[in-house]
Amino acid sequence: MSHRLTPLAQSLPATVPFVGPEAQERQRGAPFAARLGANESVFGPSPLAIAAMEAAARDAWMYGDPEGFDLRADLAQHHGVAMANIVLGEGIDGLLGSLVRLLVAPGDAVVTSAGAYPTFNYHVTGYGGTLHTVPYSGDAEDPDALLAKARQTGAKVIYLANPDNPMGSHHTGATITDMLDRLPTGCLLCLDEAYADLAPPSAIPPISPDDPRVIRMRTFSKAHGLAGLRVGYAIGHPDLIAAFDRVRNHFGVGRIAQAGARAALTDRDWLSQVVNLVDESRKAIRDIAEANGLRPLPSATNFVTVDCGQDGAFARKVLAALIDDGIFVRMPGVAPLDRCIRIGCGTDADMARLRGALPQALARALS
């Protein structure tokens, strides 16, 4: 039989924003020796979170609380906001999908940066929105260009990640608040702060949780080392947060995930340790890159983007050689950002493997 897909679904490519390392391992017939491409925390979750998840596993026959009440209460206390300001989701990806579903009707304009986080684009096109992109300014997203494009197109949403993926750059909080003050009427800023725990304090803007012009996305996938759980949350105006109940997957954050996230939030010592390990690894990646004649870009994330000094074709050769040697890394997909590769922070053993593999990868790319 012919399945009756909607015209919109029929028009979309059957693809995913990322090819997972597992798929690449199946293709190459061997596991990666160093998994440095997915912006995960190889340093793992807090021991308190592990213990909480182990205990919660006994009750996995029960659904998780669809309101996520206890975790939302903990997050509200942590951020000094009301519970009405917080909604949970299956990572930031799930929250982005719900946000777009709430705000973007077929044909509605949405603005983002060419080369920015592709899952947002995936949701916009999936709900029939019209994407408008602006180029990066150097190695950072361009607030002025985003605002100008939003005014030109009548955009309902601007997406901006701060710190940024895939370049690792960041704007100051003052830049973000200035952007909010110039936001066109009726346009919402979706501020993706996935890497906020790893950024300098100056990057985090002092925005009221009740500000209706912005929604802020956070996650437990990065510094907290819980990417496999898929726990994210958004902070925003109570009216917008309440609207998520119209469309969200109410059982999307499971019982074990909620228990693990609650425990992780309490372990400030572990988070501080991870932040220090990430900083040490960023320095190691910079040293390795510079020793090989490459230019590492400043990073406020758990990865370092490295300029390979030529064009995208050359960077793809370097990437392919590293993958062939068992080092999983990724790269930006849009020129001119694709002159770079993106290397995640890792253990001392991971850095040793990278130190040995990068010179050979460059030699193969140049041959």
The per-residue pLDDT for range 32-47, each reduced to its tens digit, is 999 999 999 999 999 9
The H or E element that residue 39 is part of is: none
In the sheet with 157-161, reading across from the earlier edge strand, the strands are 86-89, 232-235, 214-219, 188-192, 157-161, 109-113, 130-134
Residue 80 CA, distance from chain mean position? 24
Instruction: Tokens 């607030």: give the residue.
Output: 143
Q: pLDDT at position 248, please? A: 94
Distances (CA, A) of 346 to 49, 257, 276: 20, 24, 12
Rounded to whole angstroms, the Cα distance separating 147 from 177 reads 13
- Asked whether the beta carbons of 317 and 250 are under 8 A apart, the reply is no
Residue 298 covered by a domain: yes
> How many structural domains are present in the chain?
2
Same domain, 55 and 201: yes
Same domain, 107 and 254: yes
Residue 87: φ, ψ to 5°:
-130, 145
Same domain, 318 and 261: no
Rounded to whole angstroms, the Cα distance separating 298 from 167 reads 9
Same domain, 36 and 112: no
Same domain, 34 and 66: no
Nearest to 312 by CA among 294, 332, 297: 332
**Cα Rg of the chain, angstroms:** 21
Q: Which of 226, 246, 266 is the last residue of a domain?
A: 266
Residue 125 covered by a domain: yes
Residue 261 covered by a domain: yes
Residue 52 covered by a domain: yes
Q: pLDDT at position 18, please? A: 79
The domain that contains 220 carries what CATH number? 3.40.640.10
Residue 14 covered by a domain: no
Same domain, 117 and 249: yes
Residues 6+ apart with CB under 8 A from 346: 34, 35, 36, 42, 281, 354
Same domain, 146 and 251: yes
Block means of pLDDT (10 residues each) for the chain, length 367 residues?
83 82 91 95 97 97 96 98 98 97 97 96 95 97 98 98 97 97 97 97 95 98 97 98 95 96 98 97 98 97 97 97 96 95 97 97 95
Residue 299 covered by a domain: yes
- Asked whether the beta carbons of 46 and 264 are under 8 A apart, the reply is yes
> How buried is residue 9: exposed, middle or buried, by Cβ count under 10 Å (0-12/13-18/19+)?
exposed
Q: pLDDT at position 149, please? A: 98
Same domain, 129 and 227: yes
Pairing of strands 86-89, 232-235: antiparallel
Lookup: tokens for 185: 């009427």
Residue 13 covered by a domain: no
- Asked whether the beta carbons of 281 and 351 are under 8 A apart, the reply is yes
Pairing of strands 214-219, 327-328: unpaired
Residue 6 covered by a domain: no
Nearest to 102 by CA among 211, 261, 198, 241: 241
Q: Which of 242, 266, 290 is the last residue of a domain?
A: 266
Rounded to whole angstroms, the Cα distance separating 137 from 114 reads 11
Residue-range definition of the domain harbouring residue 288? 19-44+269-366
Q: Which of 214, 242, 266 is the last residue of a domain?
A: 266
Q: pLDDT at position 295, please? A: 98
Same domain, 317 and 329: yes
Q: pLDDT at position 1, please? A: 55
The domain that contains 330 carries what CATH number? 3.90.1150.10
Same domain, 212 and 302: no
Rounded to whole angstroms, the Cα distance separating 330 from 351 reads 16
Same domain, 226 and 279: no
Rounded to whole angstroms, the Cα distance separating 131 from 338 reads 20
- Asked whether the beta carbons of 254 and 71 are under 8 A apart, the reply is no
Same domain, 277 and 135: no
